[in-house]
Amino acid sequence: MSRQIVIGDVHGHYETLMRLLEAIAPETDDRVNFLGDLIDRGPDSAKVLDLVMNEPSYSTIRGNHEEMMLAAFPDGEINEHNLQYWLMAGGRQTIDSYHNPSDIYVHLDWLKTVPLYRDLGTVWLVHAGIDPRIPIEKQSAEQFCWIRDLFHRQRQPYFQDKLIVTGHTISFTFPGVQPGQLAKGIGWLDIDTGVYTLESGWLTALDVTYHRIYQANVWQETVRSTDWDDLIVDIDPKQVKPRRFDVK
């Protein structure tokens, strides 16, 4: 059976991503789905974008960092205010990762075509979450790429038949979650384990088909895999007070 793989926020850590993919060993019929935030903070954002853009079995949705990158170059021009905002949020490392500066416009053109969410049937992929008060068709990148507490505090699942899988909020910022563990709330599962943080360094992939978790670590240069439930911690929505690692 072909597998559906979901990978959390890479943030420019190309070498760690390659070690993770080696551990997963995707075959021709497998699909590898990224949750956005491919870029910023890590050293090799341009290489990560190239990989995901050019591999037919890979796909991604947009994260808030891709949104900031696009806002910095609207219509191929530079918006100085948005550019400075993005650079302070990790965009400087992305700019530095381009050996040929003109290649950034190839990636920008591609990112404009990338969707904000993806429905895989039993799981629904979005970078940050959903406003539980609003129908999907009335939501935008403001909700899909940026939302936090309102989504994590919901008391009933948004979908009755789908698990929402997200990145964006680093999992160990939830109460009771240790670095490397995943956070599961009511109808959602957060797999951003903070690859760029000193506390964690883990990049996480979820095998939706066989309920496996694969992880690679930036600092330890190690990989591991385990059953889905071994690393998932249930979150009480009343206790949600996540730390902010991101701009806004």
User: Would you say residue 240 has pLDDT above 70?
Assistant: yes
The mean pLDDT of 2-27, rounded to a whole number, is 97
Cβ atoms of 35 and 6 within 8 Å: the answer is: yes
Tens-place pLDDT, residues 147-169: 999 999 999 999 999 999 999 99
SS3 106: helix
Mean pLDDT of 172-192: 96
pLDDT of 198: 95
Where residue 121 falls (left for φ over 0; alpha for ψ -120 to 50; beta otherwise) is: left
pLDDT of residue 248 exceeding 50 = no
pTM of the model: 0.95
The domain over range 11-239 is classified in CATH as 3.60.21.10: yes
**H-only helix segments in the chain:** 14-24, 45-54, 64-72, 80-86, 92-96, 103-111, 141-144, 149-152
Q: Mean of the pLDDT values across residues 222-244?
A: 85
Q: What average pLDDT does the structure give for the chain?
A: 94
Give residue 155's pLDDT: 93
pLDDT of residue 238: 78
**How is the chain split into domains, by residue range?**
11-239
Run of H or E residues at 38: none
**CA 219 – CA 196 distance, rounded (Å):** 9
| 8-state DSSP, 240 | -
Whether residue 30 is predicted with pLDDT greater than 50 in this model: the reply is yes
Q: Give the C-alpha distances (Å, rounded to integers) separating 14 from 45, 48, 207.
A: 7, 6, 20
Band (244; pLDDT cuts 50, 70, 90): low
CA-nearest of 235, 129, 125, 105 to 181 is 235
> In the numeric block, which tokens belong to residue 223?
């990989």
| Residue 243 pLDDT | 52
Q: Model confidence over 72-92: pLDDT tens digits? A: 999 878 999 999 999 999 999
pLDDT digits (tens, 9 = 90+) for 32-77: 999 999 999 999 999 999 999 999 999 999 999 999 999 999 987 8
Which residue's structure tokens are 């909020």?
A: 169
